[in-house]
Amino acid sequence: MVQDTTDHNRPGEWRDALATDVLKHYVGKHIAIVHKHIVASGTSYDDVLKIAEELFPDEMPYIAYIPEKNT
């Protein structure tokens, strides 16, 4: 078993843990992450949060916006 040593609490660490080729599908969108998985995406923060909360009512999703360019 491979141990995940990524500190997901540090800003930007979750992006480093996801492959760039995965994130390119979400450019210009908000994504919701639960248990290191993207569980919802869309152009509206509120809509993405609502979907994630409906799918995982006992979890607190991490919502992020994927910008056009990685700066």
* Euclidean distance between CA atoms 63 and 4, whole angstroms: 21
Print pLDDT tens along the chain (71 aa). 444 444 555 556 666 666 677 888 899 999 999 998 999 999 999 999 999 999 999 999 999 999 987 55
Residue 63 three-state SS: strand
pTM of the model: 0.70
Residue 50 three-state SS: helix
Q: Give, for 4, the enclosing helix (H) or strand (E).
A: none
Other beta carbons less than 10 A from residue 50's beta carbon: 14
Residue 17 three-state SS: helix
